[in-house]
Structure 1
């Protein structure tokens, strides 16, 4: 089976992890801050806070921005459920903004219209989580302008997008948002096995997220409300969590970051080859905004169902039967049973549903060979029932 995504581990990665296993630190040691500095330096941001998953990073980001009961968080319906769940963890209410039919990210026009109505009704969001689906960034300049006008804070869910750029700057630099979140899951561009990171240019936000990732416990005398009883002394000054990353994970991340530019370049090379090989098939190929350089985490095609005789499900199953591990990113969040109980309906976000009924994620990872890619194309051609000379 050719998987839709796969980690790329070399001997240097293995050696980096083994070095930590043979060191004095397995959990909280020097490698975590070194990894944070590596990512911050690469994207050009002031502060980075490493945690055990991107979901944890989203949760901490929401807490740092003061999201709580009585507030609203808006996000895209086409994302993994964590992009919305992070608001529920804080006691906030959730709503969604329909997607752009070309980028599959939050549509700026739909966002502007929804904000105008929400302003009249007194239900503006406190936080907007924009999702850079597949690695392509949202129209962040427009989103930021709307944030300034309506007073909401912005989190970039860039779980797909490390190594990508927007208007010539690396995603994560934070020029149009408060906090950016990366994921280091094995199918992502850079991996730490499990792991995530929150990045910001605001020192107070970074300090608060760092405090909350470790139980809300500190040894910093500047944060304590009384003098120390001795060198053993610590205080819990807030209700935090055990969201810490280990030195084992961080060592892998440091090693992986040395190859990030090559990883993303290879993905672009594969995407361009897909574009060429698939251009005659009845599928809509990914569109790339000229202001962006995608992280290229996913390569999603949309079936032109009006031009084929097979259903979405039939094409998907035929691909898997031929040994190609296609996937679908994502089932719209508002259609999940948990969210339906909140009152959402399928037709609330029609563009998201059109995308869902047509989308298939083809294999995309830096280790994908041209031979494997040719096999993917052959399998898709067969699954579509297309005759090719």
Structure 2
């Protein structure tokens, strides 16, 4: 089976982890800070805070933004559950903005219309989670302008977009979002096995993120409520979590980061080959917005069922039967039973629902060979022509 995604590891990654295993620090050690500094430098950000996974990163980013009960978080329905669940973890209400029919990202113009209505109704969001679906940022320039006008915090969920760029700058630089979240899950651009990170340029946010990932504790005398009792002393000054990453994971992530350009280059080669090889099939291929250069975490096509002899499901199952491990990203979040119980229903976000009825994620990862990709294309041709 050719998977839709997988990690790309070599001996240098293994050696980096073994070196930490043989060191004095398995967790809360110096490799974590080295990983954070390297990622911040790569993204031209001032601060990076590594955590155990991207869901934890989204959670503490929302808390650092002051999200709580009575507040509202908005995001895209075309995303993984965590982009919405992070708001619920904070006790906030969650709502969605439909997707752009071309980029399949949150539609900035639909957002503008929703914000105008929400201002009249007194229901403006406190946080917007702008998802960089498949590795391509949303229209962040317009979203940032709306954030100033309507006073909400932008968190870019760039779990798919390590190594991507927007407006000529690295995703994570902080020009258009208060915080940016990355994922290092094995199928993502680089991996630390499990892991996540929040990048920001705001010292106050960074300080709180660091505290929240480790039980709300501090050893900084400037943050304490009384003088230190001695070198052993710490204080818990708010309710935090054990969201810490280990040095083992950080070592793997740091080693992977050194290969990021190669990984992105190969993903872009494969995406360009798909564009060429699939051009004449009854499929809708991914498109790009002018200012965004994708990291190509996913290559998603949409089946034009009216031009095929087979349905979307039949094409999907036919590919699986042929040994092509396709997937579907994503089931619209508002259609999940949990969110239906909160009042959402079919028809609420029609563009995301149309997308779901047609989308298939094809295999895309650096170790995918041209021959394997040709096989994927041949199976698609067989099923759709």
Runs of 4+, deviation exceeding 4 Å: none
Match of 1:132 in 2: 132
Query: 2:325 aligns to what SS in structure 1?
Result: coil
CA distance in 2 between counterparts of 1:363 and 1:383 reads 16
Q: Secondary structure at the match of 1:379?
A: helix
TM-score by length of 1: 0.98
Q: Which residue of 1 aligns with 2:358?
A: 358
Alignment coverage as a number of residue pairs: 385
- 1:230 Cα deviation (Å)? 2.3
Residue in structure 1 matched with residue 165 of structure 2 by the alignment:
165
Which secondary structure state, in structure 2, belongs to the residue aligned with residue 261 of structure 1? helix
Alpha-carbon offset, residue 229 of structure 1: 2.0
- The CA deviation at 1:212 is 0.6
Partner residue of 2:317? 317
Task: Report the alpha carbon displacement of residue 383 of structure 1 after superposing the two structures with TM.
Answer: 2.3
Query: Which residue is 2:220 aligned to?
Result: 220
Whether 1:242 and 2:229 are equivalent positions in the alignment is no
- 2:30 counterpart of 1:45: no
Partner residue in 1 for 2:282:
282
What per-residue deviation string (whole Å, max 9, x for no partner) do you get for residues 186-245 of structure 1? 000010000000000001100100001000111111111112222221111110000000
Q: Compute the displacement of 1:291 (Å).
A: 1.4
Give the Cα–Cα distance (whole angstroms) in 2 for the partners of residues 198 and 353 of structure 1.
30
SS of the equivalent of 2:159 reads coil
Shift of 1:246: 0.3
1:131-174 Cα distance to aligned partner (Å, 9 max, x none) = 00000110000000111111111000000001000011000001
The aligned counterpart of 1:92 is: 92
Q: What are the residue-to-residue correspondences of 1:147-158 with 2, within 5 Å?
A: 147-158=147-158
Structure 1 range deviating more: 357-366 or 232-241: 232-241
Q: What's 2:259 paired with? A: 259
SS in 2 for 1:57: helix
Q: Cα offset for 1:289?
A: 1.6
Q: Classify the secondary structure of the residue corresponding to 1:346.
A: coil
Rounded Cα–Cα distance in structure 2 between residues aligned with 1:165 and 1:233: 42
TM-score (norm 2): 0.99
CA distance in 2: counterparts of 1:209 and 1:383, whole angstroms: 49
Q: Distance in 2 between matches of 1:95 and 1:231?
A: 46
Indicate the SS of the match to 2:86. Answer: helix
Matched residues in 1 for 2:40 and 2:313: separation? 42
Structure 2 CA distance, aligned partners of 1:284 and 1:65? 38
Q: How does 1:194-213 map to 2 (within 5 A)?
A: 194-213=194-213
Q: Distance in 2 between matches of 1:292 and 1:217?
A: 38
2:73 is aligned to: 73
Compute the displacement of 1:330 (Å): 0.3
Deviations 1:25-69 (A, max 9, x none): 101100000000010000100000000000000000000000001
SS in 1 for 2:129: strand
Q: Which residue of 2 aligns with 1:30?
A: 30
CA distance in 2, matches of 1:348, 1:294: 28
Query: Separation in 2 of the partners of 1:291 and 1:265?
Result: 18
In structure 1, stretches of 5+ residues that fail to align are none
d(CA) in 1 for partners of 2:176, 2:227: 40
Query: Deviation string for 1:293-332 (max 9, x for gaps)?
Result: 1011000000111101211111110000000000000000
Q: What secondary structure sits across from 1:222 in the alignment? A: helix
Secondary structure of the structure 2 residue equivalent to 1:372: helix
